[in-house]
Amino acid sequence: KKSRKPREEEEEEEEEEEEEEKETKRAGGGGPTAQAREEALALQRECEEKGLDKKYKEDFDRAMGRAKKARAYFLDADTRSKAKNYYKRASNEFKTLLANAEEAAGKTAAVEKAKKLATTAKAKADKAEAKVNAPDYYEPAVEAYEEALAQLEEASASSLSDAKRNFTDAREGFEDAALIAKENKQYRILAEQLKEKMESYKARAMEKGADAKALGRWQQAESMELTANAAMASGEFQQAGGQYTQAAQTYTEALKSVLDEAAFQAELAKIKEEQKAADVESARRRKEELELAARTGPGRLPPPPPPGSTPCSDLDDSGIVDVSDLLALLAAYGTSDGGDADGD
């Protein structure tokens, strides 16, 4: 689109051009200087029609500076001989601007293609919930993508090259994130379930004063919990699940250390009932997912639980895999590596 100038500026330029026309006629019409002037003026108008006076204002203003100096020389009979060279310099500036704009248009098309590919890859990563299932891959890809958008908006020759590179990096990052996310999703779900179980042991242990009476074990469990939280935040869900399991075991040991055997077993029974209800609800939701997937056709079944998500089966023959089975499995491994951390 042709850019619009302020009315006063347009009138001033028209007056100067009319003055130049008069001087050209007085000087004999179509001499070399007049031809150089016409060429510069035509190139200036072409740049304006293409909007380059706004899009590449600094380059356009530099060329206009040459043209205005040439006009000033031309209108002064004493300096008219210098005008031709300045008109030619202005023409060269306008030609360079037009060539750069054409090159940038080609680069823009290539960048837009790279953007489209990156955007498609991002949509697939978002569908796979890569933001939570593969954050270490997803977040750098988002940063590259957003930087590329800003560089595309800037639209300089160097920024367009950088934008294309960043869109390519973002596409590759999103593709990796989508793949990792599909693998990690079930491990994340398992880790979240193990975290919930750990939190139930922790809450019961704190209720019985284990955070003060069994400080050593309590601090050890908290350290494991923090490690697990960090692993979750970075997408290391398998590692997080293992750490939550160890933390649950250590919180349980802290609870046991502050109760007699009868009281400890009573508390475990309460936890067992709570967990049994939670497991029944989880099984119900899983059944609904499978039934829904069966109705939507083949190829849409939810992925099976990952290896290790049901590691111990129904060890106490209660008819359900619940917290007591996990405790039985943990007991088979003995106490935590730190042993009797608080000496009690």
DSSP state of 335: S
CA separation for the pair 38, 63 (Å, rounded): 15
254-265: pLDDT as tens digits? 999 999 999 999
- What's the pLDDT at 338? 45
Angle between helices 7-26 and 57-75 (to 10 degrees): 40
Q: How many CB atoms lie within 10 A of CB 132?
A: 16
Contact (CB, 8 A) for 248 and 300:
no
- What's the pLDDT at 337? 46
Residue whose tokens read 């400080």: 215
271-330: pLDDT as tens digits? 888 878 877 887 787 788 777 767 765 444 445 544 444 444 444 555 444 445 554 544
- What's the pLDDT at 286? 73
Contact (CB, 8 A) for 80 and 130:
no
Longest dimension (CA), the chain: 119
- What's the pLDDT at 307? 43
Angle ∠(223,134,248) on CA atoms, nearest 5: 30
Distance (Å) of CA 110 to CA 55, 148, 172: 19, 13, 17
- What's the pLDDT at 11? 58
CA separation for the pair 235, 240 (Å, rounded): 9
Mean pLDDT, each 10-residue run in order, the chain (344 residues):
54 60 56 87 91 86 90 85 89 89 79 94 94 90 95 79 93 94 86 90 92 94 95 87 94 92 90 82 78 62 46 48 50 44 42
- Cα of first residue to Cα of last residue in the chain, in angstroms, is 83
- What's the pLDDT at 29? 52
Q: How many CB atoms lie within 10 A of CB 145?
A: 21
CA separation for the pair 240, 230 (Å, rounded): 8
- What's the pLDDT at 283? 78
